[in-house]
Amino acid sequence: MESVSMFWVLASFVILLFIIGIYALLATRNLLRILIGMEVLTKGATLLLIAAGYLTGRVNVIQPVIITMIVVEVVIIAVAAGVVIAAYRSNGTIDIRALRNLKG
């Protein structure tokens, strides 16, 4: 019974992280804030996997999936940060509206 209540605590945090991440993606036009929103969303997905592994008792199966997910997340964020830096060097701003004027 304790594992079920712990799952609901973790599930509420997951829902909170998803809401914060989606708000960060939709409410801003700043590329860095969008990257932070993506990070928060992926951390919510990671926490959801941890909660599911804890509830089912298969934490040892979920751990390699989580480690792989973290590695992929780091690579994606590193590439996206490079794109943000290139956009800043090109336009002098990290606002999405400035990127709409690009041609090519």
Q: Residue 58 belongs to what domain range?
A: 2-99
Structural domains counted in the chain: 1
What CATH number has the domain bearing residue 45? Answer: 1.10.287.3510
Domain assignment of residue 104, yes or no:
no
**45-94 pLDDT tens trace:** 999 998 889 888 898 999 999 999 999 999 999 999 999 999 899 888 99
* Half-sphere exposure for 47 (CA within 13 Å, toward CB): 19
Domain assignment of residue 71, yes or no:
yes
Domain assignment of residue 30, yes or no:
yes
Domain assignment of residue 65, yes or no:
yes
In whole angstroms, give the CA distance from residue 65 to residue 72. Answer: 11
The pTM is what? 0.84
Poorest-pLDDT segment among 25-29, 36-40, 83-87, 95-99: 95-99
What pLDDT does residue 78 have? 95
Tokens of 55: 């509830």
In whole angstroms, give the CA distance from residue 52 to residue 71. Answer: 20
Domain assignment of residue 68, yes or no:
yes
In whole angstroms, give the CA distance from residue 50 to residue 47. Answer: 5
Residues 6+ apart with CB under 8 A from 96: 29, 30, 31, 34
